[in-house]
C-alpha cells in the first residue's frame, strides 16, 4: 500500500520516466512484499529554480540528475527499509543509468487506518476498531 512521489528536473523522456517508475515499484515488490498491482505513484518534473539541493551534503556528490523519492507506507523493520533503499538505487542505476549518489529516498510511515483507497472508507482499518467505515 505504498504511495510514491518521484520528483526530478524536467527533461526526461516518457520512456525514462516509465523506467524510473517501474524500477522503484519493482524494488518495493522485491524487498517489502508490495503486490504488483499495488501501484500508486505521482511523478513531478520541476524547473531548475524549483528543484533545490546541496550538491555535497553528507559528503555525497549530487548532480542535477538527482531524484527525490518519497514513499508513504505502513511501518517496516529497519532491515526491510535499508534493503529497499539499496535495491531502489541499484535498479535505477542499472535500468536508467542514474548514479546511486543521485537517489535520495525519504520514507514516511503510518498505520493502516490512515489509508482510504476510495469510497470514503478506511479499507485496511480493523473492522472492530474505531473509524473503519
Q: Is 25 exposed, middle or buried (0-12, 13-18, 19+ CB in 10 A)?
A: buried
Rounded average pLDDT over 51-67: 98
- The pLDDT score that the predictor gives to residue 43 is 99
Helices (H) and strands (E) in the chain, counts: 2, 4
Report the alpha-carbon angle 95-19-117, nearest 5. 130
Q: Concatenate the DSSP letters of all residues of 62-91 into one string.
A: --TT-EEEEEEEE---HHHHHHHHHHHHHH
- The pLDDT score that the predictor gives to residue 9 is 98
Active-site positions read 2
Average pLDDT, the chain: 94
Q: For domain 3-114, which CATH number applies: 3.30.429.10, 3.90.1150.10, 3.40.50.150, 3.40.50.300?
A: 3.30.429.10
Backbone phi and psi for residue 71, each to the nearest 5 degrees, phi listed first:
-120, 125
Q: Where are the domains of the chain?
A: 3-114
Q: Please report which confidence band the pLDDT of residue 55 belongs to, taking 50, 70 and 90 as the band edges.
A: very high
Amino acid at each position: 500500500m505504498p504511495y510514491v512521489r518521484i520528483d526530478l528536473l524536467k527533461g526526461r523522456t516518457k520512456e525514462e520516466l516509465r523506467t524510473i517508475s517501474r524500477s522503484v515499484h519493482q524494488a518495493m515488490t522485491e524487498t517489502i512484499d508490495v503486490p504488483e498491482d499495488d501501484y500508486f505513484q505521482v511523478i513531478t518534473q520541476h524547473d531548475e529554480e524549483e528543484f533545490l539541493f546541496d550538491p555535497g551534503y553528507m559528503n555525497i556528490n549530487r548532480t542535477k540528475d538527482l531524484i527525490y523519492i518519497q514513499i508513504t507506507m505502513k511501518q517496516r523493520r529497519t532491515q526491510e527499509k535499508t534493503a529497499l533503499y539499496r535495491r531502489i538505487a541499484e535498479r535505477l542505476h542499472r535500468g536508467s543509468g542514474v548514479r546511486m549518489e543521485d537517489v535520495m529516498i525519504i520514507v514516511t510511515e503510518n498505520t493502516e487506518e490512515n489509508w482510504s483507497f476510495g469510497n470514503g472508507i478506511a479499507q485496511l482499518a480493523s473492522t472492530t476498531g474505531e473509524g473503519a467505515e
